[in-house]
Amino acid sequence: MNWIFESDRTIELGVIVRLTGGHVARDGVFSNLGMFRNYGRNMLTVYYDSKFRAQFEENLENFSAVITTEALADSIPDPIGVLVVEKPLDAFLKLHFHFCENEPAFYATDRPTTIAEGAKVHPMAVVAERNVVIEEGVEIEPFAVIKEFTHIRRGARIGPGVAIGGPGYEMRYIAGALTYVPHAGGVMIGENTQILANTAIARAVFGGPTVIGDGCKIDHLVHIAHAAVIGRNCRLVAGASIGGATRLGEDVWVGPNAVIANSLRIGDKAWIALGAAVARDVSAGARVAGTFARQLP
């Protein structure tokens, strides 16, 4: 995946100690932040409870550094850098807030919006003046809103009232107060994808995009949360909701009003029935239905 807004900055763990406190137990560098099932590379992640060990180990190749506790530091394998603090999640979120407010170039490169000559953007659509790329053959219908750090690839069709690149819903308790977490990533829409009216696709929380693969067909009133990755040729039917950082394989069917929880993995050619509530990973080719979803024969 080549996201045009990706930043090329890297930061050493020692540089951020002034913001997070703690100490560096093993040197390391990172170029992005992310939770365990976020898509990315060279990421700094946070590991504060051993109950998440399986998820942490699942994606070790994505992480170049980790913020963790003294008790867990020795369990982090080489060559991952280790920053030890008393409250890892608080330190991780503080760092994210700092980059969003003071160093936004850490997450993404800034550039003027470009719209290909062969693209058709309705005059009643709203396209941000910076940090949008619209390629040849794209069609954008009235009242669609395309916000910053959105890349719409060749041949995609965006229906009326579609909202792409707005912030998602990420709330955390910080110092006892329920606090909105800012979003610094973007959205990539694949080639020849069709998105019908009033669908909403949120930008990622950290660097990198929410991804809609080539050839997807997305119905009316679908919600796709921050940092979700939708594989090629998926079909999402009206009212479907995809949780943040959930990844769908290729050629997945998601039926009307189905809900897929955050941070799940849905295998290639899986079939999610109408109204299903999916709270666990779904294997390739599986058919699931019900609340909560169960595998069908």
pLDDT at 132: 98
pLDDT band at 184 (very low <50, low <70, confident <90, very high): very high
Q: Which pair of tokens denotes residue 9?
A: 């900055």
User: Quick one: average pLDDT of 167-194?
Assistant: 92
pLDDT band at 174 (very low <50, low <70, confident <90, very high): confident
Residue 21: pLDDT over 80: yes
99-129 per-position pLDDT tens digit: 999 999 999 999 999 999 999 999 999 999 9
The residue from 106, 136, 167 where one domain ends is 106
192-251 per-position pLDDT tens digit: 999 999 999 999 999 999 999 999 999 999 999 999 999 999 999 999 999 999 999 999
Is residue 81 within 8 A of residue 24, CB to CB? The reply is: yes
36-74 per-position pLDDT tens digit: 888 788 999 999 999 988 888 888 899 999 999 999 999
Same domain, residue pair 172 and 267: yes
- Determine the Cα–Cα distance for residues 15 and 37; give it in Å rounded to an integer: 25
pLDDT at 275: 96
Same domain, residue pair 275 and 219: yes
266-286 per-position pLDDT tens digit: 999 999 999 999 999 999 999
pLDDT band at 1 (very low <50, low <70, confident <90, very high): low
Q: What is the CATH number of the domain that holds 36?
A: 3.40.1390.10
Is residue 59 within 8 A of residue 36, CB to CB? The reply is: yes
The strand pairing partners of 223, in sequence order, are 200, 241
Same domain, residue pair 68 and 142: no
Same domain, residue pair 162 and 256: yes
Can you give the pTM of this predicted structure?
A: 0.94
pLDDT at 154: 98
Same domain, residue pair 85 and 207: no
Same domain, residue pair 123 and 99: no
The strand pairing partners of 241, in sequence order, are 223, 259
Catalytic residues, by residue number, are 226
pLDDT at 291: 85
The DSSP annotation for 70-135 comes to HHHHTTSPTTSEEEE-SSHHHHHHHHHHHHHHH-GGGTB---B-EE-TT-EE-TTSEE-SBSEEE-
Same domain, residue pair 189 and 61: no
- Determine the Cα–Cα distance for residues 239 and 228; give it in Å rounded to an integer: 16
Residue with tokens 């919600």: 223
For helices 13-20 and 88-102, give the axis angle rounded to 10 degrees: 100
Higher pLDDT, 238 or 294: 238
Same domain, residue pair 206 and 88: no
Give alpha helix (H) positions in the chain. 13-20, 53-58, 70-73, 88-102
pLDDT band at 172 (very low <50, low <70, confident <90, very high): confident
Same domain, residue pair 98 and 134: no
What residues make up the domain containing 64?
A: 11-106
Q: What are phi and psi of 106, to 5 degrees?
A: -60, -35
